[in-house]
């Protein structure tokens, strides 16, 4: 198996596991027990949510209720997407 640009000799069971997940998703970890091949941690997805913010043009709402927009006005509040 070729992992991180180096050739390694592994057992058939481990080779099949690496092939199933993809060689690019593994990394080499050396420790007291020898060389291990472990899956790279998956990146955490960024949280995405909509918020109301004051802007030049946006919605006006009936009695401040976001479920009842009256129309688009100057100085209103548009829905904007933020990432965390």
For tokens 């420790």, the residue is 31
pTM exceeds 0.85 for this model: no
20-24, 41-45, 65-69, range with the lowest pLDDT:
65-69
pLDDT over 90, % of the chain: 23
DSSP secondary structure string, 38-61? EEPPPPPPPPEEEEE---SEEEEE
Going from the C-alpha of 37 to that of each of 25, 40, 56, 58, 74, the distances in angstroms are 10, 9, 54, 53, 59
């Amino acid at each position: 198996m070729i992992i991180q640009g180096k050739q390694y000799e592994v057992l058939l069971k481990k080779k099949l596991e690496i092939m199933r997940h993809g060689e690019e998703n593994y990394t080499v970890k050396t420790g007291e027990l020898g060389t291990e091949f472990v899956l790279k941690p998956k990146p955490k997805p960024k949280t995405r949510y909509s918020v109301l913010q004051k802007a030049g043009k946006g919605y006006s709402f009936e009695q401040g209720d976001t479920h009842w927009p009256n129309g688009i006005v100057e100085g209103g509040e548009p829905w904007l997407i933020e990432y965390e």
